Amino acid sequence: MNPAKLTYDELLKGFRELQFQLDEANDTIDAIRNGQVDALIVKDDTGHQLYTLKTADQTYRVFIEKMNEGAVTLNTEGIILYSNSRFATMMNMPLERVIGLRFETFIPEISAERFNYMINNGWEEDCKGEILLVDKNGHLTPCLLSCTTLSLDEGLSLSLILTDLTTQKEAEWELKVKNDQLVAAQAETKKLNNELEDTVKERTKDLLISREHFKLLSDNIPQMSWTNLPDGEIDFFNQQWYNYTGLRFTETAGWGWQRVVHPDDLAVTIDKYVHSLKTGAVFEVENRYLRWDGKYRWHLNRAMPLKGDNGEIVFWVGTATDIEDQKQEMERKDEFIGVASHELKTPLTSLKGYIQLISGYNKEHVPPVVKQYIEKAGIAVNKLQRLVNDLLDVSKIHAGRLEYAIEEVHLRDLVATSLENAQHMYPQHEFENQATAPFKITGNAERLEQVVMNFINNAVKYSQLNKKIIIKTEANDSIVRLSVTDFGIGLSAGQIERIFERFYRVEDQKFMASGLGMGLYISTEIINNHNGKIGVESELGKGATFYFELPIIVG
């Protein structure tokens, strides 16, 4: 038939026939897919042929249709004879267009070689392997391909089952990424761990070395030494401690050291120890420790806190220095001072008496220059007498014999007498009396005057340039404070801490004035014996205010 010569009606008829055939074919395919048909007759050039669907069991076909894998049957030319819907969906195509296509259409270049190998193999025996499929949009899908040959009546076919591996691959990929991250993290951890181990090793070594250093050092100093924790427990003694006490660690560790402190020194030792633990202030106390042979020896204890990065106390390091020999030396010195000053006192009193006699004898016949000499001798003897008296006082204090009578004292009168003296002794200085209010206290006027004079003498001695001195009394509640202020060289905080000690003098060559460092020590004893308080307020270079405070008697 020549289509060019056909009429419109003939063409329409032909088209309708073809349409009918197509519908019929689609219906047949659906029927096969749904399992309603087990066999079909096909008419071709060679006549009618019966195609029996060998696997045409309906259950299987439904199953294949519903399964999650793609299922395809190929003929020996690689043409798709059958495909389930899943495969069409995987390839993004309508099912009817998939059937009849060459399966190679879905094989990308990259998988071609592998696919050919598998297909060739697949005709021989069952095989399995991963390949990539490509859809019409170029999208690649990784699949697991299983090939099985089917022997149908009409010849051999190849059944392909395609499992979409996308999710699995993604999961695998994610797993791999996670795994890689894990491996990297593990490597990093291992590295850190190694570094940490190295640091710990190094620190441990450092610690061992420094502990060894400390032990070596502490075992080789002549002093006994210890370390204690912030709560006061002693956790280390050096070898000297064991040699001295003859005791083992457990016998004196913790707070056990108290057993070797002389009972008379225990209270003050514990007081100062606890005070330092509470405040972090340096611990310093003199006490006697019991030696292994039953003898006590005096020691000077000092402990310093060791602080951490945040200022917290980590532990304390302490030493106890044997000062027994110095103490005995001091004792002998005190004894000597006592005897010497006592021996000096008698001839000095005679000397003073004779000078007084000479100065009063035949006055008008004495040439002025001799009068001057006599006056100077009188001043020198007075000075000497003050010194000897101070020395006697010191030895009295030491022997606990600084005694005096207690009476009512009017501070205003006491200041007036002292000032009269001072003005006479130091005419170059300007004294300002701000102690004119009447205050009555109980005490010994002579001894209190000694304290005031000591303050004034010092004020004069240590203020050679600025010559003003103020004496003042002021009351606070029932306490009166008497103070002497100068505007001289002043004192530093460190010096203030020590000036009330016996024989202490500030070692400053520039301002060194004569003296033995006894005045403030005696004054302190006197004021303490009066149940009062002595003190100083001062700033280096600006002057000083020395004061004492005593209870006021009312009425």
Task: Enumerate binding residues for ligand ADP (CB under 6 A).
Answer: 454, 458-459, 462, 486, 488-491, 499, 504-506, 515-521, 544
Q: Kindly tell me which of 214 and 504 has the beta carbon lying closer to ligand ADP.
A: 504
Question: Closest approach of Cβ 351 to ligand ADP, in Å?
Answer: 22
Q: Kindly tell me which of 86 and 461 has the beta carbon lying closer to ligand ADP.
A: 461
Which among 292, 280, 194 is positioned nearest to 246, based on CA atoms? 292
Are 73 and 159 in contact by the 8 Å Cβ rule? The answer is: yes
Nearest residue (beta carbon) to ligand ADP: 515
Q: Kindly tell me which of 441 and 460 has the beta carbon lying closer to ligand ADP.
A: 460
Question: Closest approach of Cβ 257 to ligand ADP, in Å?
Answer: 35
In the numeric block, the tokens 């402190």 are attached to: 261
In the numeric block, the tokens 């061992």 are attached to: 208
Which among 238, 252, 304, 256 is positioned nearest to 277, based on CA atoms? 304
Question: Closest approach of Cβ 282 to ligand ADP, in Å?
Answer: 22
Residues in the chain: 555
Question: Closest approach of Cβ 492 to ligand ADP, in Å?
Answer: 10
For 447, the token pair is 């001894």
Question: Closest approach of Cβ 523 to ligand ADP, in Å?
Answer: 7
- Which of the 8 DSSP states describes residue 514? S
Question: Closest approach of Cβ 406 to ligand ADP, in Å?
Answer: 24
Are 421 and 453 in contact by the 8 Å Cβ rule? The answer is: yes
Question: Closest approach of Cβ 530 to ligand ADP, in Å?
Answer: 18
Are 57 and 35 in contact by the 8 Å Cβ rule? The answer is: yes
Question: Closest approach of Cβ 350 to ligand ADP, in Å?
Answer: 26
Q: What is the distance between the alpha carbons of residues 469 and 523, in angstroms, rounded to a whole number?
A: 19
Question: Closest approach of Cβ 489 to ligand ADP, in Å?
Answer: 5
Q: Kindly tell me which of 119 and 469 has the beta carbon lying closer to ligand ADP.
A: 469
For 75, the token pair is 């003929």
- Which of helix, strand or coil describes residue 482? strand
Q: What is the distance between the alpha carbons of residues 468 and 207, in angstroms, rounded to a whole number?
A: 60
Q: Kindly tell me which of 305 and 490 has the beta carbon lying closer to ligand ADP.
A: 490
Instruction: Give the number of other CB atoms < 10 A from CB of residue 111.
Output: 20
Q: Kindly tell me which of 18 and 516 has the beta carbon lying closer to ligand ADP.
A: 516
Q: Kindly tell me which of 409 and 489 has the beta carbon lying closer to ligand ADP.
A: 489
Q: Kindly tell me which of 100 and 541 has the beta carbon lying closer to ligand ADP.
A: 541
Q: Kindly tell me which of 270 and 506 has the beta carbon lying closer to ligand ADP.
A: 506
Q: What is the distance between the alpha carbons of residues 126 and 115, in angstroms, rounded to a whole number?
A: 14
For 463, the token pair is 């203020």
In 264-401, DSSP assigns E strands to 283-290, 296-307, 313-322
Which among 63, 69, 38 is positioned nearest to 51, based on CA atoms? 38
Which among 75, 177, 192, 175 is positioned nearest to 123, based on CA atoms? 75
In 295-429, DSSP assigns E strands to 296-307, 313-322, 407-410
